[in-house]
Structure 1
Amino acid sequence: MYLANLPADQLSSIKEVSAFYNISQNHMSKVIAQLAKCGYIHTIKGKGGGISLAISPDKIRIGRVIQQLENKLDGVDCLSSNCPLRPGCKLKIALIKAVESYITTLNEYTLADFTENNEDISYLLQLDPT
């Protein structure tokens, strides 16, 4: 959300974003690397470098980002556990449906839905909402 509120030609830095969200730079670096690998963030290394969105916020589906960043979304790993109920348990089916609904709902939204024309977010980010 931070990068989506910056002017398109303005770069930010991992230090700046991690300070804003009060997250360690090490953790933020890992998140940024994943987002860059998925093509959401453009990174420029070296002096004068920085980070920016690589895709327009209206093209970034929230559910898709979650799917790409999260290693496991299946709720419970019934296949690798030694659960005695595994052969007859129907909970796994309900959990799979719940995760599918979660992703489907989030895919109804883009990053732009949460950032564009949102003066509250711009204020919190201390950015000009234009």
Structure 2
Amino acid sequence: MKISTKGRYGLTIMMELANRCGEGPTSLRSIAQKHDLSEHYLEQLIAPLRNAGLVKSIRGAYGGYVLAKQPDEISAGDVIRVLEGPISPVEFAEEEDPAKRFLWLRIRDSISSVLDSTSLQDLISFEDDGPADNYMFYI
């Protein structure tokens, strides 16, 4: 499974709203400018997030969007599923080899577990300690 720009930009929107939680509505224009993204594309992404009850829109001159729940109550999985659909590394066929089907199910469940256990609060609170997986080898 490869997360498209819909999922990635959707998480960007949601993280910006989480960062500004309690400060009032945030415009898509400000998010688009900050991250050098298309405002029109973000408008297409916000509608399903609103329909899913993850964000609320505020009308008016100082309107915009706010999270419908607290950042620790919305998972990355919530956002990805709304924008990308079901999480699955492959299309499952009934005649699929049972051993391969077992592998695909384990991969799907692992991805779901990580996405569902990572909240927006986790993402905005993350502090990078540098490259953890990069090893330097000298010969």
Say whether the fold is shared (TM-score over 0.5).
yes
- For 1:70 and 1:7, how far apart are their aligned partners in 2? 24
Superposed displacement of residue 78, structure 1: 4.6
- For 1:110 and 1:46, how far apart are their aligned partners in 2? 30
Superposed displacement of residue 68, structure 1: 2.7
Structure 1: gaps (5+ residues):
80-85, 121-130
The number of equivalent residue pairs is 113
| Identical columns (%) | 27
Change (3 A) 1:26 1:105: same
- For 1:68 and 1:59, how far apart are their aligned partners in 2? 15
Q: Match of 2:51?
A: 37
State the TM-score, normalizing by the size of structure 2. Answer: 0.67
Q: Match of 1:109?
A: 118
Structure 2: gaps (5+ residues):
1-14, 129-139
Superposed displacement of residue 112, structure 1: 0.9
Q: Which moved more, 1:18-27 or 1:52-61?
A: 18-27
Superposed displacement of residue 109, structure 1: 1.9
Q: Do 1:75 and 1:95's aligned partners in 2 also have CA atoms closer than 8 Å? A: yes
Q: Match of 2:133?
A: none
Give runs of ≥4 in structure 1 deviating > 4 Å: none
State the TM-score, normalizing by the size of structure 1. Answer: 0.71
Selected match of 2:95 from 83, 87, 90: 87
Change (3 A) 1:61 1:72: closer
1:19-53 Cα distance to aligned partner (Å, 9 max, x none): 22222112101211111111111112342211111
1:5-84 alignment to 2 at 5 Å?
5-79=19-93
- For 2:127 and 2:101, how far apart are their aligned partners in 1? 42
